[in-house]
A and B are shown apart, each in its own frame.
Chain A
Amino acid sequence: GAVVSQHPSWVICKSGTSVKIECRSLDFQATTMFWYRQFPKQSLMLMATSNEGSKATYEQGVEKDKFLINHASLTLSTLTVTSAHPEDSSFYICSARSVTGAFFGQGTRLTVV
């Protein structure tokens, strides 16, 4: 299968600071990538669709000014959690579609203290 790399795999930050998460497709190009959030014992919730060269599309209820998405190239999308608060602590996962299916990055466990 295709490889999607996400970095960092875990991060602890202080409340009020910002955190950037990178998602790269290593062996294919992805015009579209997806960002999910998963709380413990719950399913994946789509936050936004990242489009190369244009603005991201956010799902209902997701604050676009808080979760900044930049899809700078066909292999890189970034999610920045701005002014993070403890309730933003979660498992963030990116995904990209190749011809064989949708593949996920390793996920980033964010803890805001």
Chain B
Amino acid sequence: QKEVEQNSGPLSVPEGAIASLNCTYSDRGSQSFFWYRQYSGKSPELIMSIYSNGDKEDGRFTAQLNKASQYVSLLIRDSQPSDSATYLCAVTGQGGSEKLVFGKGTKLTVNP
């Protein structure tokens, strides 16, 4: 059973702080990793993708991948109240599978 685990939170940080979101996955053959942001009542929005070990930065967001530890994280620097949402970690299977397996999401609240 392929699983993606996230701390459900809620995670609460003050405005301007760094928010750290974590995700572990069970399928060692997973090849692609994504972070989505979902506002209440809306569909998920892709914010980061990462495919190889190490860090990937895009603006205030940094994704980190460690395949040996089966761990992927998302850092949000200078957190803003508009970052308040549920963050979903998603992982594809091995063998080039396009299916995404989602974690249950971490709810982030950024307090002004």
Q: How far is the CA of A43 from the CA of B34 in the complex (A)?
A: 15
Nearest residue (CB) in B for A100 is: B49
- Binding site secondary structure of chain A: strand
Residues of A within 8 A of B104 (CB): 42-43
Complex interface bits, A79-97 against B, C-beta within 8 A gives 1, otherwise 0 = 0000000000001010101
Q: How far is the CA of A44 from the CA of B34 in the complex (A)?
A: 14
Q: How far is the CA of A93 from the CA of B100 in the complex (A)?
A: 13
Nearest CB in chain A: distance from B9 CB, A: 12
Nearest CB in chain A: distance from B101 CB, A: 8
Is the CB of A103 closer than 8 A to any CB of chain B? yes
Binding site for B on A (CB under 8 A): 1, 6, 32, 34, 42-44, 46, 49, 91, 93, 95, 97, 100-107, 109
